Amino acid sequence: MRRYSAFAIAREALRHHTGWERAWKSAAPKSRYDVVIVGAGGHGLATAYWLGRNHGITNVAVIEKGWLGGGNTGRNTTIIRSNYLQDPSAALYEKSRSLYETMSQDLNYNVMFSPRGVLMLAQTEHEKRGYLRTAHANALQGITTRFIGPAEVKKICPIMNIDGPRYPVLGGLWQERAGTARHDAVAWGYARACSDMGMDIVEQCEVTGVTRDGARVTGLSTTRGDIACDKLGIVVAGHSGRLAEMAGFRLPVESVPLQALVSEPIKPCMDIVVMANTVHGYMSQSDKGEMVIGGGTDGYNAYTQRGSFQHIEETVRALVETFPMISRLKMLRQWGGIVDMTGDRSPILSRTPVENCFINCGWGTGGFKATPGSGWAFAELMATGASPLTAAFGMERFREGRFIDESVAAGVAH
């Protein structure tokens, strides 16, 4: 792999950019691998990357039904934060956030991590008390957050209307080192690094069945032939239920559409990320100047990657009250992603009832922020059989009643 650098740009400028090579090799699947990861989104690729980097396992294939990073990795609103209430979540998300800080250097790929700060608005008394509690919990977990009052909110984000009356701003939970990153670049950077380690990234390859020898997984059938493997990692987000069904077990997961939309580009007006959880409105400004808006999920199962119009209407209606200046903006694009929701709104990183088959799913509406940490922890689980970061996230927690309850703890957003 040729490294990207300022020198490389200068060199290519002198020879009409003829020396750039493909970032990752397009591979045909071999008949056998040590580890096969299903799903070439951020989490799947990060898992493969850390399997190679931390555990020396490079006979790995990452197979993908569509194109690389074309699912929720390319559909989210790119928010990165770690201000969670429960200790296991805080540990996992903070690991992830800290890996984002050095990701561009680690991968030699600019993922445009921008620690611009994330502000979670308290717009009801209940929410305010909840965030005060989270700020105290974060202090104990060693995560730097603080609760700020309305005056400081207005200072950090002048375009906000803090007076209400419908949605007054009573303060906010402020995490200064949280922010955003370029979502596609995260997938591309990992793919390039995995390919460089000799791993195969196989796109346009849909899994049609999971083969087992008794209770042990032995491989996959795919639209591009059978692939044998010692270990199988399922990292397919909204379609986890389908893969689990093929492997022969059922998940505590339901799939629903989550929507986002972006406006026409405007001049810089907002240099932080604001999350208004009461009204399901999440907004930041991209480097291109578009206002990136995330909405709420549909209340019923669907795989449409579209979502219901009423949720967009709700989100925009509420945001216009808090940000009056966006009322005249035209929206350019709207889309949906299929998110996998668990009962406690926390992910599953787990062994499964099928031996040597592991699953990483249930990230619900907030998986992007967890991409590097999820890969780190899941790779450790797959390689060694256990990881301190995943210990609390086993799928058996639902049977045993050991929930990591972020749905009540964090209001709604994840």
Distance between CA atoms of residues 323 and 160, nearest Å: 5
For residues 107-120, one letter each, b for 16 or more C-beta atoms within 10 angstroms of the residue's C-beta and e for the rest, the string is bebebbbbbbbbbb
Considering only 252, 265, 289, 394, the residue that binds another protein (CB under 8 A) is: 252
Which positions ≥6 away from 10 have C-beta within 8 Å? none
Letters for 255-284 (x = contact with another protein by CB under 8 A, - = none) are x-----------------------------
| Cβ-contact 301, 242 below 8 angstroms | no
With respect to another protein, which residue has the nearer C-beta, 26 or 310? 310
Letters for 212-251 (x = contact with another protein by CB under 8 A, - = none) are ---------------------------x-xx-------xx
At its nearest, how many Å lie between another protein and the CB of residue 238?
9
At its nearest, how many Å lie between another protein and the CB of residue 143?
29
Query: Does 317 interact with another protein (rule: CB under 8 A)?
Result: no
Look-up of token digits 């549909």: 298
Nearest one of 161, 176, 340 to 242, comparing CA atoms: 340
| Cβ-contact 384, 55 below 8 angstroms | yes
Stretch that binds another protein, among 4-12, 28-36, 80-88, 301-309 (CB under 8 A): 301-309
* Both structure tokens of 169: 């701003």
Query: Does 192 interact with another protein (rule: CB under 8 A)?
Result: no
At its nearest, how many Å lie between another protein and the CB of residue 198?
34
Nearest one of 284, 292, 288 to 157, comparing CA atoms: 284
> Positive or negative, the Cα torsion across 247, 341, 252, 348?
positive
Distance between CA atoms of residues 84 and 112, nearest Å: 24
Considering only 26, 102, 208, 301, the residue that binds another protein (CB under 8 A) is: 301
Nearest one of 208, 85, 188, 89 to 138, comparing CA atoms: 85
Query: Does 21 interact with another protein (rule: CB under 8 A)?
Result: no
Query: Does 333 interact with another protein (rule: CB under 8 A)?
Result: no
With respect to another protein, which residue has the nearer C-beta, 4 or 398? 398
Which helix (H) or strand (E) is 361 found in, with range?
strand 357-361
Query: Does 303 interact with another protein (rule: CB under 8 A)?
Result: yes
The count of C-alpha atoms lying within 13 angstroms of the C-alpha of 195, restricted to the half-sphere facing its C-beta, is: 22
At its nearest, how many Å lie between another protein and the CB of residue 179?
33
Stretch that binds another protein, among 49-57, 84-92, 184-192, 397-405 (CB under 8 A): 397-405
With respect to another protein, which residue has the nearer C-beta, 158 or 401? 401
> Positive or negative, the Cα torsion across 385, 389, 391, 395?
negative
Considering only 5, 105, 310, 384, the residue that binds another protein (CB under 8 A) is: 310
- What is the size of the binding site for another protein (CB under 8 A)? 23
With respect to another protein, which residue has the nearer C-beta, 125 or 400? 400
At its nearest, how many Å lie between another protein and the CB of residue 322?
22
* Both structure tokens of 238: 């909204």
**C-alpha distance from residue 384 to each of 355, 377, 381, 397 (Å):** 14, 11, 6, 21
3-class SS at 373?
Answer: helix
The count of C-alpha atoms lying within 13 angstroms of the C-alpha of 389, restricted to the half-sphere facing its C-beta, is: 23
At its nearest, how many Å lie between another protein and the CB of residue 395?
9
At its nearest, how many Å lie between another protein and the CB of residue 385?
23
With respect to another protein, which residue has the nearer C-beta, 17 or 402? 402
Query: Does 335 interact with another protein (rule: CB under 8 A)?
Result: no
Site for another protein in 343-362 (CB under 8 A): 343
Stretch that binds another protein, among 29-37, 167-175, 276-284, 398-406 (CB under 8 A): 398-406
Nearest one of 358, 58, 394 to 210, comparing CA atoms: 358
With respect to another protein, which residue has the nearer C-beta, 341 or 381? 341
Query: Does 304 interact with another protein (rule: CB under 8 A)?
Result: yes
List residues binding another protein (CB under 8 A): 239, 241-242, 250-255, 299-304, 308-310, 342-343, 398-400
